[in-house]
Amino acid sequence: MSDPTKRTERWMSKYNVERVKDTLNDLKPEMARRYADAMVGLCQMEGKVKEVINARGVSTSQYVPYLNFGRQLYKTTRQRGITGESFAMAAQVLLDKWAARGCDPEVLAQIRTDVFNIPAPKP
């Protein structure tokens, strides 16, 4: 279809705000439940990361980068679905990234193993 007027008319006929609203209203309860479930897991993980960094004496001003490292590992475990040696290698890449940003690699390695049970990749 090369006629821009026809394309616009078809788009306008397909785009119905009330239909979109009704669809989202139907989906909202399940979306809210999944979000709540995800937040429970995320908060538990953040609590475990805080335990590790507290035990290692990390300054509270440095909490954010370590929590971000944990969040990125959490996202990798939940969304990418990789496991085994590939996952260990992906975790090592994240560890190197946050170490380059000034985080202590030993603390990052402890978070990786204690919180996520990910071993160091094989050499």
pLDDT digits 0-9 by tens, 18-59: 888 888 899 999 999 999 998 999 999 999 999 999 999 999
Q: Can you tell me the distance from the alpha carbon of 85 to that of 94, in angstroms, rounded to the nearest whole number?
A: 14
Q: How confident is the model at residue 1 (pLDDT cuts 50, 70, 90)?
A: low
In a domain, 122, yes or no: no
Distance CA 54, CA 34 (A): 30
Reported pTM:
0.77
Determine, yes or no, domain membership for 78.
yes
Residue 35 lies in a domain: yes
CATH of residue 8 = 1.20.58
- Tell me whether residue 120 is in a domain: no
Token look-up 């705000």 returns: 17
Q: What distance in Å separates the CA atoms of residue 121 and residue 86, rounded to the nearest whole number?
A: 8
Residue-wise pLDDT for 71-97, tens only, equals: 999 998 887 678 888 889 999 999 999
How many folded domains does the chain comprise? 1
CA distance readout (Å), 114 to 42, 50, 82, 101 = 16, 12, 19, 21
Long-range contacts of 106-112 (CB under 8 A, 24+ apart): 106/56, 107/52, 107/53, 107/56, 107/58, 107/66, 108/66, 108/69, 110/52, 110/56, 111/49, 111/52, 111/53, 111/66, 111/69, 111/70, 111/73, 112/73
Give the tokens for residue 37. 């479930």
Residue 64 domain-assigned (yes or no):
yes
Range of the domain at 85: 4-114
